[in-house]
Structure 1
Amino acid sequence: MFVVAIYGWQEETPELVQELAGALGIMTFEARQRLIGGGPSVVASFADHQQARALAEKVSRGGIKALIADATAVRMRSGFLIVRRFRFEGRMLNIETHNGQQETFPYADMELLITGTSVVGFSETKTIVEKKFSLGKTLLTGGIPMTSKVERQEEVSSEESEQVLYLYANDRPTTIFSLNGMNYDGFGAEMKLSRKLNFSHLISQLRLHAFGAAFDDRLLNKINQVRLLGPAQGREASLDLAAEILARCLLTSRG
C-alpha cells in the first residue's frame, strides 16, 4: 500500500484549498480539513505505486509539496534497526539490535529525534461465570428460588500503549527505541527505578549529546496521529508510518 502525503504550505488560503480539492476530486470543505494544522497530512492511499505517483505529481503542480511512502514496508519495519541495548560513549552512541547487530552512531550525525505513543489493540477470550435462575432446582426444593452457574465465552478488547523514540542520522536506517523493548543497563549507575523514568532519561541524554538534532514530540498525541494519517487510518496505519512521513517532511525542510 502506497500513501500520498502533502506538506510544506504556509497557510490554507482559498486558492490552495481549491487547488487541493480539484486535484483530489473532493469538496472544498474536505480539502480544508486536510490542510488544517500545517501538515503533513495523508490524502490518499493506493495499492499501485504508479497511481500514487500520478496523484503526487498532480498535487505538486498545484503548489503543494507531496511525497509517497510505502506503508507496507514501514509496517514490516523493513530495514529498520530495533534497539535492544545501548551505551553512551564519548562522541557516539553504541546500540545492539534485537537480532544481535552492533551499530555506532556519532552524535554529530544525528539529525532528528521523534517521540510518539504507540497504541496496540488486541482481543482475548475470557470465561464469564454467571448465576441464573434454575427452574428445575427451584421445583426440587419445593419452590425456594435456586440458581445455577452458567459459563460463557466472551471476546474482550483492550489496548496497550507505550512511548517510542525514532532516531534519524544521515543516511542510516531508521532506529527505533521502545519503552518496553529495551534493557537499560547501559546507564550503569544512572539507571532509574522504572522503565518510564529510564526512557525519559534516554531522551534527555540523546538531546543533550546530539544538540544539533531537531526534536519533535507531536506524535505523543493520538489526535495528531489521526490528523496526519487521515484516510490511511484503519489500513496500514501505525505510529511507524506517521513517524516516517513526519521525518521525511522535516528532514526535507531542513535541507
Structure 2
Amino acid sequence: MDIVSIYQLQGDMDQLARNLANVLGTTPYEARARVSISSGGPAIVANFATTEPAADCAARLKTLGFKTLVVGSEQIESDQQRQLVRQIQFTRDSFQLVTRDDTKLDIPYSEIKLLLRGTGITSSIQVETDTKKKFALGRAVATGGLMMRKKVTTTTTNNTQDRQPFCHIYAAGQPPLVLRQAEIDYSVLGDNLQPSRDANFNWICTELRRHCPTADWDERLKTRSGLAQLLGPAFDPESDLDLAITLIVLAKEDNDNGGEV
C-alpha cells in the first residue's frame, strides 16, 4: 500500500480545498477537512494498493502547488527500528540513556532534531457473564415445591481504554529513541523524583524540551482527535499510530532537506 499525504498547507483554504477536490474527485466541502488540519499537516489524502497510481496522484497535487509525501508500507516506523529507553538522566550538555537491552548512549542536546510527544490508545471490550439461581414462584407452584429456583444469566459488557503516553527523540545518526511512561525506571531521577508516574514522565518531557531549544516540539499525537485529523477517515487512531508518527517524521526531514521524500 502507498499512502499520499500533503503538508505545509498555507494560503486560501477554499482554493486549496477546490484544488484537492479536483485531484481526488470529491467535493470542496469534503476536501476542506484535509486542508484545514492543524500545523499545516501532514494530512493523508489518499491510499493506493500499488505505487503507480499513488505517484500519479502526488504528481497532480504538485502541479497545483501542494507539497506531498508518498509513503509505502515498508517505510512505516515500528519498534523493530527503535531503541526503547529504560533510564534517562540529564547532564549539562547531553542526556544519558540506558536502553531496554542495556545499551548506554550519551546524546548531545545539540543533535536533537525532533521531540514527538503522543499517546498510544488501545480499546478493549470485556464481556462478563454471571449466572445465579433465583427463586421462581411459578416453577415452585408447578412442581409442588420440588423445583423452586431457576438459573438466570446476566451479561455485562465493559469498554475500557488504555492510554500509554510516549515521547520519541530523533537525533542525528541515531535510530528513534522511545520513552514510554509505563516502561521508564524513574528511580535514577534522585532528588527530582516526583510523587506519581504521570508527574515523573511529564517532568522528563519538560526537561527534554528545555534542554533542546533548537529541536522541533510536536504534541499533536497526544489526543485521539489529533491522530484522527492527521490520519483521515481511512485509518484508525488505535491501530495506525505508527503511520501517523512516520508521516510527521518524514515531513520534518523533507522540510529540512528542502526536497521531496
User: Is the counterpart of residue 25 in structure 1 residue 25 in structure 2?
Assistant: yes
When structure 1 is superposed on structure 2, of 235-244 and 75-84 the one drifting more is: 235-244
Looking at structure 2, the residues matched to 212 and 139 of structure 1 have their Cα atoms a distance apart, in angstroms, of: 83
Looking at structure 1, the residues matched to 130 and 76 of structure 2 have their Cα atoms a distance apart, in angstroms, of: 39
1:15 is aligned with what amino acid? Q
1:58 CA displacement:
2.2
1:7 is aligned with what amino acid? Y
Aligned residues: 254
For 2:181, the equivalent position in structure 1 comes to 179
C-alpha spacing 1:54/1:78, structure 2 compared with 1 (3 Å): farther
Asked if the contact 1:118/1:161 (under 8 Å) is kept, the reply is: yes
Looking at structure 1, the residues matched to 24 and 50 of structure 2 have their Cα atoms a distance apart, in angstroms, of: 16
Asked if the contact 2:193/2:200 (under 8 Å) is kept, the reply is: yes
C-alpha spacing 1:57/1:131, structure 2 compared with 1 (3 Å): farther
For 2:168, the equivalent position in structure 1 comes to 166
Asked if the contact 1:115/1:216 (under 8 Å) is kept, the reply is: yes
For 1:9, the equivalent position in structure 2 comes to 9
TM-score in terms of structure 2 length: 0.83
Q: Deviations over 1:106-141 (max 9, x none)?
A: 111011112112211123443333566644345446
For 2:34, the equivalent position in structure 1 comes to 34
Identity %: 28
Which structure 2 residues correspond to residues 9-88 of structure 1 after superposition, within 5 A? 9-37=9-37, 38-71=40-73, 74=76, 76-88=78-90
Looking at structure 1, the residues matched to 62 and 115 of structure 2 have their Cα atoms a distance apart, in angstroms, of: 27
- The alignment yields a C-alpha RMSD, in angstroms, of 2.9
1:121 is aligned with what amino acid? S
> Gapped runs of 5+ residues in structure 1?
none
The one of 222, 225, 228 equivalent to 1:226 is: 228
The 3-state SS of whatever aligns with 1:164 is strand
Asked if the contact 2:224/2:237 (under 8 Å) is kept, the reply is: no
Looking at structure 1, the residues matched to 164 and 79 of structure 2 have their Cα atoms a distance apart, in angstroms, of: 17
The one of 206, 209, 221 equivalent to 1:207 is: 209
1:241 CA displacement:
2.3
Asked if the contact 1:229/1:237 (under 8 Å) is kept, the reply is: no
